[in-house]
Amino acid sequence: MNSPIIAPSILSADFANLQRDVEMINRSEADWFHVDIMDGVFVPNISFGFPVQKAIQKHATKPLDVHLMIVQPERYIKEFKEAGAAILSVHIEASTHLNRTLQAIKAEGMKAGVAINPHTPVSLLADIIQDADLVCMMSVNPGFGGQQFIEHTYQKCAELKEMIVKRNSRCLIEIDGGVNQITAPKLLTAGADVLVVGNYVFSSSHPLETIQSLKKLFSHTHQA
């Protein structure tokens, strides 16, 4: 089994020292940068747009995993590609023509992801699971960092893994929200492939070691 992917969330970085934090992730054992884009409409918060994403891209040496928490995400696919996105995820709740949007993302040369909110059942993904490269499963209510992990996520993750295997899909499962040393091993056991880590890394006094410990945790979990 491949080593799972760690994607630190830039939303939890220190924006006054963004280059410093990006370079810390470059040096770490993390695999991707997770970039949350919020429009204040789909979620009750506004994060940042293309100029900040381009600033991250300028210094990042790892792929940008961009999570669009916006209405009508299909309007900006090309712009996010130009701003450096390698993976682009859109919310199922915000996409009227999801299949078309996923194909448009792939046509721009990016990996196509589908994000789902905590209340959205996994069953709604059945018809597109073979078209998606990734499902970003929200394990907190989207909009703000540092929120309480929703326990039902473990069961949901296991259900999604079963669907992926049954349909012979190569889709990865990404968990976004409340990931730490307690939730991470259980999520991996449930079938997660990618863990988004925010406050757990950026509030750590030794973030490089925190990321390394998650990487070790992964290998131990999968050997068990």
Q: Which pLDDT tens digit goes with each residue over 71-117? A: 999 999 999 999 999 999 999 999 999 999 999 999 999 999 999 99
Give backbone dihedrals phi and psi of 54, rounded to 5 degrees, phi first: -65, -35
Residues of the chain with pLDDT > 90: what percent? Answer: 88
User: At residue 8, does pLDDT exceed 70?
Assistant: yes
pLDDT at 216: 83
CA–CA dist 64, 198 (Å, integer): 15
Q: Which residue has the tokens 């992990």?
A: 149
* Angle made by CA atoms 151, 102, 126, in degrees to the nearest 5: 50
pLDDT at 4: 80
pLDDT band of residue 2 (cuts 50, 70, 90) is: low
Mean pLDDT of 28-41: 96
Burial of residue 119, with CB atoms counted within 10 A of its CB: 0-12 exposed, 13-18 middle, 19 or more buried: exposed
C-alpha distances in Å from residue 205, one per residue of 96, 102, 147: 43, 39, 20
The model's pLDDT over 123-151, given as tens digits with 9 standing for 90+, comes to 999 999 999 999 999 999 877 666 789 99
pLDDT at 142: 79
Q: Which helix (H) or strand (E) holds 156?
A: helix 153-166
CATH classification at residue 151: 3.20.20.70
pLDDT at 223: 47
C-alpha distances in Å from residue 201, one per residue of 96, 100, 161, 165, 209: 35, 35, 26, 31, 9
Q: What is the mean pLDDT of the chain?
A: 93
Domain housing 158: 5-223
pLDDT band of residue 224 (cuts 50, 70, 90) is: very low
Mean pLDDT of 189-206: 96
Catalytically active residues, by annotation: 36, 176
For the chain, the domain total comes to 1
User: At residue 219, does pLDDT exceed 90?
Assistant: no
pLDDT band of residue 220 (cuts 50, 70, 90) is: low
The model's pLDDT over 155-164, given as tens digits with 9 standing for 90+, comes to 999 999 999 9
